[in-house]
Amino acid sequence: EYDGERNPEGERHGHGKALLPNGDTYDGEYEHGFRSGQGTYRFKNGAYYTGGYLQNKKHGKGVFFYPDGSKYEGDWVNDQRHGFGEYTYANGDTYTGEWLNHNRHGQGTYVYKDTGSKYVGGWVNGIQEGQAELIHLNHRFKGKFLNGNPVGHGKYVFDIGCEQHGEYIQSEQDRGEGDEEEELSFIVEPKWKALEIKNLTLWTPHGENPP
């Protein structure tokens, strides 16, 4: 069912309201028969989207409220979360940063509601990867992440005024050969190997003397 404006060719064009065969509804702008412009799409399951459309696809700025209570507010391209946006998860966690093809990708900050800890750094296809900082209540870890785990050299910085340098060692049994199913059952969290404890070091741009 459609109630709204049409162009001389009879296409939905301008503002209108539609009830779709599956029970969803749309209230917003149309161009040549397509949802294009600003509109609100309500799904039968209680989810709804309000924002930009281009040829029936979510495109531009928009907010999507999901059935589980989570919410995404930000950029969309071709029906995908793409660009910059903030996602509030059902458990209260939040991610603010870059998106690519519906996944967290690029630079972003993930805040864990339960602990107040936050991860600030790189993401690849939804997984923590690259240079990052994991910030806790009274200390932080600076280093590199791969597949969601810290890897290689890094340091823990403590609010009491010292830092511990070291590296994350990948467990030997993780390096076995075989198919993926086999490997997954052997993955063990990397172990931190402390190397030295020292006073806080000031970061200075390359080639400059510290003040």
**Per-residue model confidence as pLDDT tens digits over 29-76:** 999 999 999 999 999 999 999 999 999 999 999 999 999 999 999 999
User: What does the pLDDT look like over 3-31, one tens digit per residue?
Assistant: 999 999 999 999 999 999 999 999 999 99
Q: At 172, is the pLDDT very low, low, confident or very high (cuts 50, 70, 90)?
A: low
Model confidence pLDDT, tens digit, residues 109-153: 999 999 999 999 999 999 999 999 999 999 999 999 999 999 999
Q: Is 32 exposed, middle or buried (0-12, 13-18, 19+ CB in 10 A)?
A: exposed
Residue 81 above 50 pLDDT? yes
Predicted pLDDT of residue 65 = 98
Asked if residue 47 lies in contact with residue 62, where contact means CB atoms within 8 angstroms, the answer is: no
How many percent of the chain have pLDDT more than 90? 79
All domains of the chain, ordered by start, with CATH? 1-71 (no CATH), 91-172+188-200 (2.20.110.10)
